[in-house]
Amino acid sequence: MEYTHLGRTGLTVSRICLGTMNFGPVTGREDSYAIMDHAHDRGINFFDTANVYGWGENKGLTETILGEWFAQGGGRRERTVLATKLYGDMGDWPNDGKLSALNIRRACDASLRRMQTDYIDLYQMHHIDRATPWDEIWEAMEYLKMQGKILYVGSSNFAGWHLAQGQEAANRRGVLGLVSEQSIYNLVERTVELEVLPAAQAYGIGVIPWSPLHGGLLGGILKKQAAGDVQRSGSGRAADTLEQHRGAIEQWEAFCDERGEAPGDVALAWLLHQPAVTAPIVGPRTMGQFDSALRALEVSLDEAALGRLDEIFPGPGGTAPEAYAW
């Protein structure tokens, strides 16, 4: 396994982050436990979850499954850099969501109970809360740090100017501030290259891409459809965008065939070649999917290959403002 530091911190994390969103709603408890054990066996120490995972009436289920796994002992908690998120409503009552100081403290305590741990390594804001002042957010996060309940603070789905705004507010308070940003980022969806990635690099914020295969679109969807495997391609982000990108996807799968590599492996490898990226999130439903994703660490892309991928998926044209101005 390859490791790197999370942003400008001294925290060491694996170059692949295990996403747990499927644990509970799709993947049963025993299979979830097995995947997490296997992740440790393969050297992955970075796990990501969120308080809302489990969804609907089962919000919190995924964190509960992690807690049950940690409770088995054997160094499971100690060997895991644990990241979770807050923002989404966990109930129907006022202050059951968003980023008020009240909800930050309550949500953290609830996550700690579900996950049967006394601290969270990386506490992430799942979305920007435009109604809550940054001083209130940082005061609440600082209090959690003083209590030893969280170690680092990250964001998710922030715009570049949100990163700058949040970090400058932290700088004024003399605190560490944001150390990571979790954004959708893949060969199809490259909008973050305009301003999010440059802001993250300027402030030393590690980027953790979610949906690295764009919901399965980059995972060999055309071949799977031809073989009658439509479980992932029949709905969601992949189905919504396939026709829009069909020409590029045809070229993409041909490119991967020429290299003799699985499309999903190449898509992850491309992210690992991007300088702002700390670790893409891999959210397996099965052990087989997980093992397949780990092969991305063995895929090397030279300048010619990276150039060809830029031709197939050109992205926004670089960083702002040059991408749209002189």
pLDDT single digits (tens) 118-168 = 999 999 999 999 999 999 999 999 999 999 999 999 999 999 999 999 999
Q: Which sequence positions are flagged as catalytic?
A: 53
- pLDDT bin (cut points 50, 70, 90) of residue 177 is very high
**What is the Cα–Cα distance from 219 to 296, expressed in whole angstroms?**
12
Phi-psi region of 17 (alpha: psi -120 to 50; beta: other; left: phi over 0): beta
- Structure confidence by residue, pLDDT tens digits, 241-261: 898 899 999 999 999 999 999
What integer is the mean pLDDT of 85-103? 97
Domain coordinates of the chain in residue numbers?
A: 3-219+262-312
Rounded (10°) CA dihedral 230, 231, 233, 236: 150
**What is the Cα–Cα distance from 71 to 276, expressed in whole angstroms?**
35
Model's pTM, two decimal places? 0.94
The CATH architecture annotation of domain 3-219+262-312 reads Alpha-Beta Barrel (3.20)
DSSP H or E run through 182? strand 178-184
pLDDT of residue 47: 98
**What is the Cα–Cα distance from 82 to 84, expressed in whole angstroms?**
7
DSSP H or E run through 86? strand 81-86
Q: How far apart are the first and last CA of the chain?
A: 42
On the question of pLDDT at 232 being above 90, the answer is no
**What is the Cα–Cα distance from 235 to 69, expressed in whole angstroms?**
31
DSSP H or E run through 180? strand 178-184
Q: β-pairing, 3-5 with 12-14? A: antiparallel
**Residue 86, beta-bridge partner list:** 125
pLDDT of residue 98: 98
Query: In this structure, what token pair is assigned to residue 177?
Result: 């501030």
**What is the Cα–Cα distance from 94 to 92, expressed in whole angstroms?**
7
Q: Name 208's Cβ contacts closer than 8 Å, sequence gap at least 6.
A: 17, 48, 154, 180, 181, 182, 183, 277, 278, 279, 280, 281
**What is the Cα–Cα distance from 133 to 136, expressed in whole angstroms?**
5
What integer is the mean pLDDT of 39-62? 97
Rounded (10°) CA dihedral 284, 285, 289, 291: 60
**What is the Cα–Cα distance from 279 to 190, expressed in whole angstroms?**
16
Give helix then strand counts, H and E, for the chain.
11, 10
pLDDT of residue 326: 92
